[in-house]
Amino acid sequence: MRELSAEETISKRTGFLLPPRKLALAWTRAYIELKTEARLAARVEGKSSLARLGLVVHMTVPTIHAGFEGRIRLEMMNHGAVQIRLCPGTRICQLIFETTLGTAERGYKGQFAGQTARRKNKQI
């Protein structure tokens, strides 16, 4: 992954230009904690205004499981014909919270449990 990636420093003034047919990995600013006993899960959904430009914000399964804690890694792709300027603080996605049927026996323990941003956004 390191050989395919480049670290980018995002300027608050100029933002980040995501060219057509390019992928960028980014972290949400928000940190969430979905307690298993609260019987909550969530879905990451993109904003329609940016989707109309071709931006997909979560390319894999958008489910955030009960028991997840951390910041959400976004896999953003520009499927449009023009560059999309993304600036810090721009609302590009939303969480849709859902109640689960029953209580999870254990929280999310997958490879992304407790993830935190270790570096700035990366582009592939």
Beta strand 69-78 pairing with 23-33? antiparallel
Catalytic residue among 3, 75, 98, 105: 75
What is the distance between the alpha carbons of residues 25 and 2, in angstroms, rounded to a whole number?
A: 12
Place of tokens 């909550």: 40
What is the distance between the alpha carbons of residues 26 and 47, in angstroms, rounded to a whole number?
A: 16
* 40 strand-pairing partners: 99
Residue 105 appears among annotated catalytic residues: no
| Contact between residue 113 and residue 69 where contact means Cβ atoms under 8 Å apart | yes
What is the distance between the alpha carbons of residues 85 and 96, in angstroms, rounded to a whole number?
A: 25
Closest CA to 112 of 60, 46, 45, 55: 60
**Residues with catalytic annotation?**
75
